[in-house]
Amino acid sequence: MKDFFSKLLTGMSIGIVVALIPNALLGEILKLLIPHFPALQHVFDITVFVMSLLPVMIGVMVGINFKLSPIQTASVGIAAMVGSGAVQKTAEGLFALNGIGIVINTGLTAALTVLFVQFIGDRFKAYSILLMPTLSILLPGMIGYLMLPFVKNSTGLIGIAIDNVTTLQPVLMGAIIAVIFCLIILSPISTVGVATVIMLSGIGSGAANLGIVATGVGLAIASYKANNLGTALAHVLGSPKIQMKNFFMKPKIVLPMLITAAILGALAGVLNIQGTPYSAGFGLSGLVGPLNYITFAEGGWTPRNISIMLATFFILPIILNLVLIYVFSRKLKMIKAADYKLDFD
């Protein structure tokens, strides 16, 4: 079970980063350039479309990670798409993309499909190409589809719990929300999904974003020695979710990031750092958080606001994580660089 869970989370992590990183790198930059170069709208639209292919990417990456055959891998990919909820039928009978779907249900559907194709094995022989994709849709795919409303409601319950936190005093609220989003970003649950369900905005959104910033920057620093610069930067520019497997296997590896998140979240309450339900689910990815802070800050691009943005989104996350990682690794001996090793070969 441990090996199965490890392979599943690794496949999900790779799929998430591959599908989301083009928009994360280009999205906000393209939005600034499109008014001057309208032709770039097509590029932006493509990056958004690629995000909606996340369920297929998760399924395929999970299949590859389990060393399934090409037909089995493709079957996991299409079944994962069926169970994701990323495609909906409109009243006009057309099919429309619905964001990235429910990531946790995508993972559950992929897991069920892997078990199914492994159970079938080579029983179909020459008929595998005919029967395997079809049965993968009809059995594990449809089970995932039927589970979708229940999993979606469970995600909504998390949102309701967070919504109750927003009634607290701003500094305390900021610290708690930042810690919660630090944990959510390392799970199969979508931070954007949770934030948009409750329409998390204002200081709550700013704190949530800083919680993700703390996680991404901290994991980039902690994982650099065990991986490489490109992989380390993927935690910040892409998503910290690539550490899902390591987090579930060794939860203590995020202790420095949790403390950093709490401090930054509290500062969101002190400095009135705000955002939108959309920006709450992103860290530094695409610079969504910092740019939204400037948008809502009184006066906009003033020297004071720029200083606060640089301090809270860049300087403090680096300094706090460096100090805390040093304490937890060198002094307390609770973590080591190898704990953050990612194997994408």
**pLDDT tens-place string over residues 167-196:** 889 999 999 999 999 999 999 888 877 887
pLDDT band, very low/low/confident/very high, at 90 (cuts 50, 70, 90): confident
- List the single range of 26-30, 45-49, 80-84 with lowest mean pLDDT: 26-30
How many Cβ atoms from other residues are within 10 Å of residue 91's Cβ?
Answer: 5
Contact between 63 and 11 (Cβ < 8 Å)? yes
Q: What is the model's pLDDT at position 345?
A: 61
CA distance 135 to 345: 30
Interatomic CA distance for residues 206 and 7, integer angstroms: 34
Answer for the pair 69, 63: CB distance below 8 angstroms, yes or no: no
130/251 Cα distance (integer angstroms): 43
CB of 83 closer than 8 Å to CB of 109: yes
Residue carrying the six token digits 């996350």: 317
Alpha carbons 193 and 103: distance in angstroms, whole number? 9
**DSSP character string of 188-252:** SS-HHHHHHHTT--HHHHHHHHHHHHHHHHHHHHHHTTTS-HHHHHHHHHT-GGGGHHHHHH-GG
* Nearest Cα to Cα of residue 325 among 200, 188, 222: 222
pTM for the structure as a whole: 0.84
Provide φ and ψ at 96, rounded to 5°.
-125, 145
Q: Which amino acid is at 112?
A: L
Torsion angle, alpha carbons of 56, 60, 66, 70, to 10: 130
Calculate mean pLDDT across residues 39-50: 93
Q: Is the pLDDT of residue 260 over 90?
A: yes
Task: Give 100-115 pLDDT, tens digit per residue.
Answer: 888 899 999 999 999 9
> Which pair of structure tokens corresponds to residue 170?
């701003």
Q: Does 80 or 195 have the greater pLDDT score? A: 80
Q: Could you read off the pLDDT of 273-302 as tens digits, one per residue?
A: 998 887 888 788 778 889 889 988 989 899
Q: Using CA atoms, how far apart are residues 140 and 105, in angstroms rounded to an integer?
A: 12
Q: Give the number of other CB atoms < 10 A from CB of residue 49.
A: 12
pLDDT reported for residue 20: 83
Distance CA 167, CA 284 (A): 26
**185 SS3 class:** coil
CA-wise closest residue to 132 among 150, 146, 113: 113
Which H or E run includes 337?
none
Find all residues with CB under 8 Å of 105, minimum gap 6, and list them. 83, 84, 85, 144, 147, 148, 151, 152
Report residue 97: phi and psi, to 5°: -75, 140
Residues 221-246 have pLDDT tens digits of 999 999 988 889 989 987 899 999 99
